[in-house]
Amino acid sequence: MATGLSVEFHGIGKSMSREFPHRPVLAVAGVVFHRGRVLLIRRGREPARGQWSIPGGVVRLGETLEEALRREIREETGVEAIPLGPVEVVERILPTEDGRIRFHYVIVDFVCRYKEGVPCAASDALELRWVPIERLGALDLPKETRKIIEKAHDYRGTAGLTFWPLDRSQESAERDSPPS
């Protein structure tokens, strides 16, 4: 009977390649805001190696979207963030010249609020910066990424959410310990 199991569960539990995958790869990314600034990373791997982006990565089997988001932001930046809600779902399909699919991601982008942590580039990030919203134009930021950041920035008004904690003791703690 064991032979039936290998056929029945073929592919389950095996890691799928992100490059030339056999199906779309589910990923998450977080637009993390703090004091009028957004947390950006310079990507350390393909696709878009060397470009500025928002932190994020692939959802692992058994993780919720929010668990994956918190983990990826922490691994790439050292920052703990609080997801406030999804703002966009993006399909990133990058074919080769001969038409094969090199990368295919379905990315759920979330708006997040900074909670704590000392930012430092790690994992897949070559560099990171807190960038004031009004200075996004100074970076070589992909047009799609800029649109997602702007949508996330506007999100709080349309959803009735705030990026600031309602508990005044948390607010003063954040004010007294800004990120680097």
Q: Which of these is catalytic: 46, 127, 144, 171?
A: 127
- Mean pLDDT, rounded, for 51-62: 95
Considering only CA atoms, which of 119, 55, 42 is closest in space to residue 83? Answer: 55
* Percent over 70 (pLDDT), the chain: 78
Q: Which domains does the chain have, with CATH numbers?
A: 15-174 (3.90.79.10)
- pTM for this structure? 0.77
pLDDT of res. 22:
94
Considering only CA atoms, which of 129, 155, 132 is closest in space to residue 52? Answer: 129
pLDDT of res. 90:
94
Q: Do the beta carbons of residue 140 and residue 52 sit within 8 Å? A: yes
Question: Residue 25, Cα to own-chain centre: how many angstroms?
Answer: 14
- Tell me, yes or no, if 127 is annotated catalytic: yes
Q: What is the pLDDT of residues 29-55, one digit of tens each?
A: 999 999 999 999 998 887 888 889 999
More confident residue, 180 or 68: 68
Q: Do the beta carbons of residue 29 and residue 107 sit within 8 Å? A: yes
More confident residue, 122 or 151: 151
What is the residue-averaged pLDDT of the chain? 82
pLDDT of res. 108:
97
